[in-house]
């Protein structure tokens, strides 16, 4: 195809297409088709990232116009207790959410995989919360957990006066309230992923394990879970990305309260950029979030895709 391309300039030889020719004209339709996506990647992902990092080093207030001030925004960021609380909240919530979502999702998938009746009905019920937005999830759980209107109030009105369930209003427990809503929303999806993974394990593997006399739990732990590696990686990536951008659930459920006890980094970024009128500070926080994700992702990606021939 390259042979049929027209020579670009008088200077280039006719038979050997030039470098420009090869880069731009070879397979032209495919390149044109890919252009919008390439533009999006360059402008939105790379461009905005660079923009964000640059302006995090300025003293921009309401508009990104400030002048370069070095690491001042970062110094201020890490001396702000709201940011520090946000970060530790995210770590605590993230770890618990990741572990519980995976464990509960897997256990539910195992239970559903026992050739039970009405399987698709159960699957739909479990997956339903995932169809709701975090805002709806947050609002519903806010009502349920509201001490005066929700579960606690109802049970007290029914006569169980000693009943207490006020996690949402308790700074020490509010993270767990967040966790309940988050798990309710996310475990169904994790279960469906895991179920697909379980179903991909050949029946004969199970038979072979039974002949070998391997107990069921041991078969899951030593044989089936290692075989589900691909599904597990997918699940961790999806759950992980949900954790990092945790925002709407917090806004709907607690709005960061009581006090600042359920603040998260994404909310910090949003508040400083759009309502606090301090773009520089918000972008510094956003950059820190990006950095954290990269610190986790790069070694993992290196291990996963780097070593040649390591994986089987």
Partner 1 sequence: MQNSVSIRDLSLNFGSVKVLEHLDLEIAQGEFIVLLGPSGCGKSTLLNCIAGLLDISDGQIFIGGRNVTWLEPKARGIGMVFQSYALYPQMTVERNLSFGLRVAGMKKDEIERRVQRAAEILQIGPLLQRKPANLSGGQRQRVAIGRALVRDVDVFLFDEPLSNLDAKLRSDLRVEIKRLHQRLKNTMIYVTHDQIEALTLADRIAVMKNGVIQQLADPHTIYNRPVNLYVAGFIGSPQMNMFQGTLSGSTFTTDDGIAIPVGTYAFDTPATGAIKAVLGVRPEHIVLGDEAANMPFQIDAEIEIVEPMGSDTLAWTKIGGQAVTFRCDSDVVIETGQKVRLGFDTARGSIFNAETTNRL
Binding site for partner 1 (CB under 8 A): 202, 204-205, 207-215, 218, 222-223, 226-227, 229, 312
Question: Of the two residues 236 and 290, which places its CB atom closer to partner 1 in the complex?
Answer: 236
Nearest approach, Cβ of residue 220 and partner 1 (Å): 12
Nearest to 80 by CA among 214, 276, 232, 304: 276
Question: Of the two residues 31 and 218, which places its CB atom closer to partner 1 in the complex?
Answer: 218
Nearest approach, Cβ of residue 211 and partner 1 (Å): 5
Contact 281, 76 (CB under 8 A): yes
Q: d(Cα 216, Cα 219) in Å, to the nearest integer?
A: 5
Q: d(Cα 203, Cα 115) in Å, to the nearest integer?
A: 13
Q: d(Cα 226, Cα 198) in Å, to the nearest integer?
A: 11
Nearest approach, Cβ of residue 236 and partner 1 (Å): 18
Q: What crossing angle do the helices spanning 229-244 and 174-199 adopt, rounded to 10°?
A: 150
Nearest approach, Cβ of residue 312 and partner 1 (Å): 4
Distance separating the N- and C-terminal Cα atoms of the chain: 37
Question: Of the two residues 75 and 119, which places its CB atom closer to partner 1 in the complex?
Answer: 119
Q: Which residues contact 147 (CB under 8 A, 6 or more apart)?
A: 153, 165, 166, 168, 169
Give 68's strand partners.
Answer: 58
Q: d(Cα 225, Cα 218) in Å, to the nearest integer?
A: 10
Nearest approach, Cβ of residue 183 and partner 1 (Å): 29
Question: Of the two residues 67 and 311, which places its CB atom closer to partner 1 in the complex?
Answer: 311
Question: Of the two residues 9 and 202, which places its CB atom closer to partner 1 in the complex?
Answer: 202
Nearest approach, Cβ of residue 303 and partner 1 (Å): 17
Q: What is the DSSP code (8-state) at residue 121?
A: H
Question: Of the two residues 22 and 210, which places its CB atom closer to partner 1 in the complex?
Answer: 210
Contact 249, 182 (CB under 8 A): yes
Is the N-terminal amide bond of 258 cis, ω within 30° of 0?
Answer: yes
């Amino acid at each position: 195809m390259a042979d049929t391309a027209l020579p670009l300039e008088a200077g280039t030889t006719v038979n050997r297409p030039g470098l420009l020719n090869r880069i731009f004209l070879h397979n032209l339709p495919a390149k044109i088709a890919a252009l919008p996506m390439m533009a999006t990647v360059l402008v939105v992902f790379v461009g905005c990232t660079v923009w964000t990092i640059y302006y995090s080093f300025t003293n921009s207030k309401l508009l990104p116009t400030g002048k370069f001030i070095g690491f001042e925004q970062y110094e201020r960021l890490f001396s702000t207790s709201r940011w520090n609380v946000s970060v530790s909240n995210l770590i605590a919530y993230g770890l618990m959410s990741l572990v519980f979502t995976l464990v509960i999702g897997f256990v539910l998938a195992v239970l559903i995989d026992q050739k039970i009746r009405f399987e698709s009905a159960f699957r739909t019920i479990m997956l339903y919360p995932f169809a709701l937005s975090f805002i709806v999830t947050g609002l519903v759980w806010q009502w349920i957990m509201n001490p005066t209107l929700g579960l606690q109030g109802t049970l007290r009105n029914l006569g169980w006066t000693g009943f207490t369930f006020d996690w949402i209003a308790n700074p020490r427990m509010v993270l767990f309230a967040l966790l309940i809503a988050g798990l309710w929303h996310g475990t169904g999806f994790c279960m469906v992923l895991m179920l697909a993974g379980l179903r991909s394990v050949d029946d004969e593997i199970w038979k072979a394990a039974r002949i070998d006399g391997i107990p069921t739990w041991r078969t899951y732990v030593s044989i089936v879970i290692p075989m589900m590696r691909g599904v597990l990686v997918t699940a961790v990536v999806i759950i992980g990305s949900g954790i990092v951008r945790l925002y709407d659930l917090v806004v709907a459920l607690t709005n960061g309260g009581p006090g600042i006890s359920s603040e998260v980094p994404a909310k910090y970024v949003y508040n400083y950029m759009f309502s606090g009128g301090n773009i520089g500070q918000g972008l510094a926080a956003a950059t820190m979030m990006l950095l954290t994700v990269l610190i986790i992702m790069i070694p993992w990606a290196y291990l996963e895709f780097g070593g040649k021939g390591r994986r089987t």
